[in-house]
Structure 1
Amino acid sequence: MARLHVVTGKGGTGKTTVAAAMALALAGQGQRVLLVEVEGRQGIAQIFDVPPLPYVERKIATGVGGGEVFALAVDAEAALLEYLDMYYHLGRAGKALDKVGAIDFVTTIAPGLRDVLLTGKVYEATRRKAHGKLAYDAVVVDAPPTGRIGPFLNVNHEVADLAKVGPIRNQADAIMGMLRSDVTRIHLVTLLEEMPVQETLDAVEQLEALDLRIGSIVVNMVRHSPLDDEALALAVKEKIPAAELTKGLRAAGVAVSKELVATLAAEARDHAVRVGLERENRDRIDALGKQVTELMLQPEGIDHGALIDLAEEFRG
């Protein structure tokens, strides 16, 4: 039933890439998808190699199933101008306020209002209809990182001191109603490292306390070890037989020396330790009891082909 997918994660976990791949995966099912950016970084434009996104919905990709991906960069000031025109018919007057810096001043002193404007545009796009049906089958939001996702989504609390009644308060309440409904799911992106996993655990607790629904935990940049469990156990104890390493190097046509064998053994130990830590962090994620999606590391970097591969992993 979910149509609004909010993607968050600690900085550096590939949150924007995951949001883009998710949008492509939905388009691969034949859906018309809107991919929304709210942080002003133009990360979506960079990933899809298109010009910077304006405050206008623009088609940027086609899914393998015939669906389409549109993109929008939501700007708080532009959203406020749209809001003033929609509710107060202040088209020209609103632009005049923008020219003198009043809109930037208002959204700066009232950050809660900024979030209402950003999420308000997402709310409008999710509910918008055209020709008697929904304009978009799904909306994917590249949201702020986990450290700010709670306040960003908890908009009615953020405007509690700003507006007790009136259009702003009504809009905040309507947004929260949608965010807490079956329409919305929050997806958290993490790596199998201590800090991202801890932020993910903290964010899940915070979001569920706000009655927001978790969709999936996306474990990004997964690397599977070429060593089996027995070899890993030997490597971590530095007990891989030197004769086996020597044999393997010679079979690969590599000139063997004691120094090389020792270096390779040390590398194997470091690798085994890392694998052990990753497994411990994966156990912590699994203990949440949430749906977990793994996306493989793309060693050549992220281009359109890599996005298609990640989208296929989502669909698989």
Structure 2
Amino acid sequence: MSPRNPQNPRNARGAEEPNATRLHIVTGKGGTGKTTVAAALALALASEGRRTLLVEVEGRQGIAQLFETDALPYEERKIAAAPGGGDVHALAIDPELALLDYLDMFYKLGRAGRALKKLGAIDFATTIAPGLRDVLLTGKVCEAVRRKDKAGWRIYDAVVMDAPPTGRITRFLNVNDEVAGLARIGPIYNQAQAVMRVLKSPETQVHIVTLLEEMPVQETVDGVAELRAAGLPVGGVVVNMLRPVLLDDGAVRDAANSRRTAVAKALSQAGLGGAQRGGRAERLVDPLLAQAHEHAERVALERRERAEIEELGLPTYELELMGGDGVDLGGLYRLAENMRKQGVGVA
């Protein structure tokens, strides 16, 4: 383990900030890029010598693809170095193996637990009881948040969870409350209570990734309401894949109103031929107006959706659309730097 910086109060034993955020849960509607945002956030939080754990709970191996590495096993391993000497570790949680950990930790089953796996009992249990799967996933993540070494240092300065989509995030995080209500005593009850203490504490923030489109924004609004009703701490809203505004307000109005004469004149002034009937500028008007009109409609929609997000009263961060077929490793580092400058995840 690399030495920690004694000047960093988040790392020094006995000098940790009591309300510092250590668990960042990233959710969002499918297609909004939540895995990319989670990965970039982990890099941003790992800067300046800090150590971050990035956790995947859905078994899609999206983290491995983003960091251009082999499929992640059920073990914590370093996958990236962050600016300033920090590093990012990653873990893809396997519910079956997490259950074996649980059985060994609380019931000391050891070899007996592994025998159950060979018999298929572990797979059977996690299949017939989906809630059990979520208990194991959240429990493993919260264990990583609380874990310390023998000297009392936190193993990780921050843990980032690439969580399920917004539509089921509240049920996923709140499952331990349900379990605690069913199991009134014993290790299962104690474990569920310990997990919920982390999830509902100032150490945790749930960040929602969205696009400036109607369905993602509506799901964000609904998700925030559900999280708040469940007493789960909401962090911020990350507006992802933001496209640039190419026209000023006047041009947007001209395009929205299909003002052919104004557009033809502007083309002529730009040296693209005369604005007279049949001239080059005139022939360019219709296709340009169509594109400009589409752009104007998008700008108007995004303004309406941004206003919806602002009404939530949450910190809002914006990440630009990356070119090409997706975000490569270099693009991921650029997004991380952008997030760091905006203060995403700072308590």
TM-score bucket (shorter structure): over 0.9
Q: Is the aligned partner of 1:297 residue 2:321? A: yes
**Offset, 1:30:** 2.3
- Residue 87 of structure 1: aligned partner: 106
Q: Is the contact between residue 32 and residue 136 of structure 1 (CA under 8 Å) also seen in structure 2?
A: yes
Aligned ranges 1:156-175 → 2 under 5 Å? 156-159=176-179, 163-175=183-195
Aligned to 1:222: 242
1: CA distance, partners of 2:103 / 2:271: 70
Inter-partner Cα distance in structure 1 for 2:114 and 2:280: 73
Q: Does 1:245 align with 2:245?
A: no
Report if aligned partners of 1:151, 1:158 keep a CA contact under 8 Å in 2: no
Q: Return 5+ residue gaps in structure 1 as ranges.
A: none
Identify the residue that residue 210 of structure 1 maps to in structure 2.
230
Q: 1:242: Cα distance to partner?
A: 1.6
The aligned residue for residue 9 of structure 2 is: none
Report deviation, 1:161.
6.8
Q: What RMSD over aligned residues (CA atoms) do the two structures have, in Å?
A: 1.6
Q: Distance in 2 between matches of 1:312 and 1:141?
A: 19
1:189-208 equivalences in 2 (<5 Å):
189-208=209-228
Contact 1:246 1:261 in 2 (8 A): no
SS at match of 1:312: helix
Aligned mates of 1:162, 1:47 — CA distance in 2? 39
Aligned length: 313
- Contact 2:217–2:305 under 8 Å retained in 1: yes
Matched, 1:187 2:212: no
Counterpart of 1:143 in structure 2 is 163
The Cα shift of 1:249 comes to 6.8
Q: Secondary structure at the match of 1:129?
A: coil
- TM-fit CA distance, 1:257: 6.2
Letter of the 2:163 partner, please give it.
Answer: A
- 1:314 corresponds in structure 2 to 339
Report the residue type matching 2:267 in the other structure.
L
Are 2:307 and 1:283 aligned? Answer: yes
Whole-angstrom CA distance in 2 between matches of 1:56 and 1:195: 36
Structure 2 stretches of 5 or more lacking a match?
A: 1-19, 274-278, 342-347
Aligned residue for 1:215, secondary structure, equals: strand
- For the pair 1:48 / 2:67, whether they are aligned, the reply is yes
2:88 aligned counterpart, secondary structure: strand
d(CA) in 2 for partners of 1:25, 1:183: 17
Q: Distance in 2 between matches of 1:226 and 1:233?
A: 13
Q: Which residue of 1 aligns with 2:56?
A: 37
1:158, 1:258 → 2: CA distance? 67
Residues 208-263 of structure 1, C-alpha deviations (whole Å, 9 max, x = no match): 11111111100001112121111111111111422213444729xxx936443211
Q: Which amino acid aligns with 1:57?
A: E
Match of 1:3 in 2: 22
Corresponding letter in the other structure for 1:282: R
Residues 177, 193 of structure 2: 8 Å contact kept = no
- Where 2:280 maps in the other structure, the secondary structure is coil
Q: What SS does the corresponding residue of 1:134 show, helix, strand or coil? A: coil
Aligned counterpart in structure 2 of residue 57 of structure 1, from 76, 79, 93: 76
Between the aligned partners of 1:57 and 1:126, the Cα distance in structure 2 is: 13
User: What secondary structure does 1:238 align onto?
Assistant: coil
**In the alignment, is the contact (CA less than 8 A) between 2:267 and 2:281 conserved in 1?**
no
What is the TM-score when the length of structure 2 is the normalising length?
A: 0.87
- Tell me the amino acid that sits aligned with residue 244 of structure 1: A
Q: State the partner residue of 2:292.
A: 268
- The alpha carbon displacement at 1:47 in A equals 0.3
CA distance in 2, matches of 1:120, 1:26: 22
- Percentage of pairs with the same residue: 61
Question: Partner amino acid for 2:160?
Answer: V
Q: Do the aligned partners of 1:112 and 1:158 also contact (CA within 8 Å) in 2?
A: no
TM-score normalized by the length of structure 1: 0.95
Runs of 4 or more off by more than 4 Å in structure 1? none
Counterpart position of 1:27: 46
